[in-house]
Amino acid sequence: MQKSSDPTTTHAQGLQEHEPAKLPSRPLATDIKVTGEPLDPGQMGRIIKPRELVDVIELTPLNRSETLLYNQLLANAWNNIRTAPVHKVLKASLRGSHQSNDRLEESFDKLMGAWAKIRARDPATGTMATFRVHLLGTNKEEDHDDGYFYYTFPPDLLAVIQQSKAWATIKTHIMYALRSKYSIRLYEMVERRIGMMKQHEQFSVDELRAMLGVPEGKLERFAEFNKHCLKPALGEVNHLTDFWVEVMAIKKGRAVEKLQLAWFRKSEKDMQAAFDERERSRIGRQARLDGSVELIRFDAVDS
C-alpha cells in the first residue's frame, strides 16, 4: 500500500518549485582577470583597474613613470589579490628600456609615501564615504639587480577595491604608447566609462584637474590648464586610442563653470589608423599629431 505524502513536505516543495529564479549578482572587478603580458611594453596585455583607483584624487601626485609602475604592480598582483597577502615580481620585468634599477628605487620610495583620496562605498556600513589611503603597503626589495620586489597593498585599500563593481580594462599596448601622465589618466577615465549607457559626464574644473593628477598649486588658471594639460592629453588620446574624446566648456558669464567630457568609439577605419600609429616609431609622432585634422572640440577660453 502506497503511503500518502506528508502535506507539510508537499507544501514546502511547492513553494520551492514556484520561487523566482535568482538573478546572478553583478560581477566584482576582482572577478575579471588580467590577461596577456601586461609588464612587457612590447606585448599586448589587459590590466583591470577598479573605478576607485581610476577616479582617484592623488594627494601625492605621481609622474608618468610612477603611474605606469603602479599599474604594473597592480596587474602583477591582480589575479591573486583576494588570496595572496604578499606579491612578488622580478625587478628586471619592471625596468622597461632602462638598464639599471635607479629609477625603480626612486619610484618605489615615491609610491610607498603616496596618499590618495578615494570616494567609495564603505564595506562596513554600505554608505558612501571618502577614504584617504596609502597606495602601497609594506614592501621589500632584494639588493641584487636581478632580485625580486615583494609588496603588499594596505588593508583599507584592499577592502575598498575588492568590492568594486566598475573598472577600466586598460590595454597595455595603448597605455605604454601614451607619453604624458595626463594622457594616461584621461585614457583610464574614458576606458572606465566607454561601456556605459551615458556618453558624457560633467565635472567642475577643479574636479577634472584633480582627476587628471595636476599637482595642487599648478596650472590654476584655466588657460594654463587648457594649454598644458587638457589639449595635449586630448590630442594624444584621440591620436592613439580606440575612441574620440571631446571636452566642452560650460560658461557662467565669461568664466568656465563646468567641463563636459564626452566619448565615443572610433570607426573600424579610425581604430586601424590609431593602431598603425602605435606601431610606428615615436620619432616624428608629434609632428604627425600636430599635422592631423583638428579633432579636439574645445572652446577657446582665456579666463
| pLDDT per position as a tens digit, 14-58 | 434 444 444 456 789 999 999 999 999 999 999 999 999 999 999
Greater model confidence, 127 or 98: 127
pLDDT digits (tens, 9 = 90+) for 234-249: 999 999 999 999 999 9
Residue 300: pLDDT over 80: no
Do the Cβ atoms of 133 and 116 come closer than 8 Å? yes
Greater model confidence, 106 or 281: 106
* CATH architecture for residues 28-176: Orthogonal Bundle (1.10)
DSSP string, 163-217: T---EEEEEHHHHTT---HHHHHHHHHHHHHTTSS--EEEE-HHHHHHHTTPPTT
DSSP state letter for 278: H
> What's the half-sphere exposure (Cβ side, CA atoms, 13 Å) at 83?
3
Q: Which pLDDT score, from 0 to 100, does residue 293 have?
A: 40
Q: Rounded mean pLDDT of the chain? A: 87
Instruction: Compute the distance between CA of residue 138 and CA of residue 112 in angstroms, rounded to an integer.
Output: 8
- Phi-psi group of 221: left, alpha or beta (phi > 0 → left; psi -120 to 50 → alpha; rest → beta): beta
Q: What backbone phi and psi angles, to 5 degrees, belong to 167?
A: -160, 160
Mean pLDDT is lowest, of 13-27, 150-164, 191-205, 259-273, for 13-27
Q: Which pLDDT score, from 0 to 100, does residue 103 have?
A: 84
Q: Which pLDDT score, from 0 to 100, does residue 20 have?
A: 47
Residue 291: pLDDT over 90: no
Instruction: Compute the distance between CA of residue 301 and CA of residue 196 in angstroms, rounded to an integer.
Output: 30
Greater model confidence, 42 or 285: 42
pLDDT band at 7 (very low <50, low <70, confident <90, very high): very low
DSSP string, 88-142: EEEGGGG-TT-SSSHHHHHHHHHHHT-EEEEEEE-TTTSSEEEEEEESS--EEE-
pLDDT band at 283 (very low <50, low <70, confident <90, very high): confident
Q: Which pLDDT score, from 0 to 100, does residue 195 have?
A: 83
Instruction: Compute the distance between CA of residue 196 and CA of residue 184 in angstroms, rounded to an integer.
Output: 20
Segments of the chain assigned to CATH 1.10.10.10 = 197-303
Residue 99: pLDDT over 90: no
Greater model confidence, 123 or 212: 212
pTM of the complete model: 0.85
Tell which residue, 33, 28, 69, has the closest CA to residue 184: 69
Tell which residue, 220, 261, 267, has the closest CA to residue 243: 267
Q: Which pLDDT score, from 0 to 100, does residue 146 have?
A: 87
Q: Which pLDDT score, from 0 to 100, does residue 224 have?
A: 96
Greater model confidence, 144 or 300: 144
* Positive/negative CA dihedral, 279, 285, 291, 294: positive
> What's the half-sphere exposure (Cβ side, CA atoms, 13 Å) at 231?
16
Residues 6 or more apart whose CB falls under 8 angstroms from that of 236 comprise 178, 179, 180, 183, 289
Residue 112: pLDDT over 80: yes
Residue 189 has which C-alpha cell? 577615465
Residue 199 has which C-alpha cell? 556618453
pLDDT digits (tens, 9 = 90+) for 127-181: 999 999 999 999 999 998 889 999 999 999 999 999 899 999 999 999 999 999 9
Residue 233 DSSP SS3 = helix
What is the mean pLDDT of the segment spanning 257-280?
94
Instruction: Compute the distance between CA of residue 250 and CA of residue 258 in angstroms, rounded to an integer.
Output: 5
Q: Which pLDDT score, from 0 to 100, does residue 286 have?
A: 74
* Positive/negative CA dihedral, 200, 252, 210, 222: positive
pLDDT digits (tens, 9 = 90+) for 83-96: 999 999 999 999 86
pLDDT band at 223 (very low <50, low <70, confident <90, very high): very high
Greater model confidence, 5 or 111: 111
Residue 6: pLDDT over 80: no
* Alpha carbon distance, N-terminus to C-terminus of the chain: 94
Task: Please state, for a pLDDT cut of 70, what percent of the chain lies above it.
Answer: 85
DSSP string, 39-76: T-TTS-EEEEEEHHHHS-EESS---HHHHHHHHHHHHH
Per CATH, domain 197-303 is 1.10.10.10: yes
